[in-house]
Chain A
Amino acid sequence: DQQVKQNSPSLSVQEGRISILNCDYTNSMFDYFLWYKKYPAEGPTFLISISSIKDKNEDGRFTVFLNKSAKHLSLHIVPSQPGDSAVYFCAASPPGSQGNLIFGKGTKLSVKP
């Protein structure tokens, strides 16, 4: 049973517009949520995170929103750039874990010039 779900396998956006990547989760006890970006043939790189006690965190062009009642988080990229084209993974940290993360299956973002 998937605890972290990214229901859109792919997303295509025009350069300069907003990209919104979505993630749903089932466990209300998750402590933290993280977003990773992955280019082909490279390891994932950490992008941004949010604590379960917050509802928004912003870092430059990237903003993560957390809606605890809906068990939903989203990553907004504004403005989108062709270099943002990558696979984005949502991850959640269970409480009391040894730092384990539970990953979604990823969403492939394509930003067209």
Chain B
Amino acid sequence: DVKVTQSSRYLVKRTGEKVFLECVQDMDHENMFWYRQDPGLGLRLIYFSYDVKMKEKGDIPEGYSVSREKKERFSLILESASTNQTSMYLCASRVVGGYNEQFFGPGTRLTVL
């Protein structure tokens, strides 16, 4: 069974803290993605990676960075958390080909105080 896991379901951080969100997939997928979901705004792509050590900016990369040192792991980093980064963060992965179906993790609800 396809599995994408995220390190935390709920996280509370303070403004200015450095935050790490971890995502691991066990499907040997090449591509991995980070989204944030906000009410009324849908899913917005932050960053994606199509191979180890490769990364591309999505639609809203400002304030974020990513790291992909191993194929199965994709980390999202908030360099200095701000209150407007309070959101649901979703990680996804996909195998090349097919319908471009992405498999999502359960999400991390991040609150920045």
Is A25 in contact with chain B by the CB < 8 A criterion? no
Inter-chain contact B106/A43, CB cutoff 8 Å: yes
Binds A, one of B13-21, B37-45, B63-71, B74-82: B37-45
- Residues of B contacting A: mostly: strand
A43 interface neighbour in B31, B42, B90, B101, Cβ under 8 Å: B90
Interface string of B81-113 (1 = CB under 8 A from A): 000000000101010100111111111010000
Which B residues are CB-close (under 8 A) to A101? 100, 102
Q: Number of B residues whose C-beta is below 8 Å from A? A: 29
A93 interface neighbour in B35, B99, B103, Cβ under 8 Å: B99
Inter-chain contact B40/A93, CB cutoff 8 Å: no
Is A41 in contact with chain B by the CB < 8 A criterion? yes
Inter-chain contact B40/A105, CB cutoff 8 Å: yes
Nearest CB of chain B from residue A8's CB, rounded to whole Å: 13
Is A31 in contact with chain B by the CB < 8 A criterion? yes
Inter-chain contact A93/B100, CB cutoff 8 Å: yes
User: Smallest CB-CB separation from A103: which chain B residue?
Assistant: B43
Q: Which residues of A contact B (CB under 8 A)?
A: 6, 9, 31-32, 34, 36, 41-46, 49, 51, 89, 93, 97-101, 103-106
Q: Which residues of B contact A (CB under 8 A)?
A: 4, 9, 31, 33, 35, 40-45, 48, 50, 56, 58, 90, 92, 94, 96, 99-107, 109
A-B contact pairs, 20 of them (CB 8 A): A9-B40, A34-B99, A41-B9, A41-B109, A42-B106, A42-B107, A43-B104, A43-B106, A43-B107, A44-B43, A44-B104, A45-B104, A46-B101, A93-B100, A98-B31, A98-B50, A99-B94, A100-B45, A101-B102, A103-B44
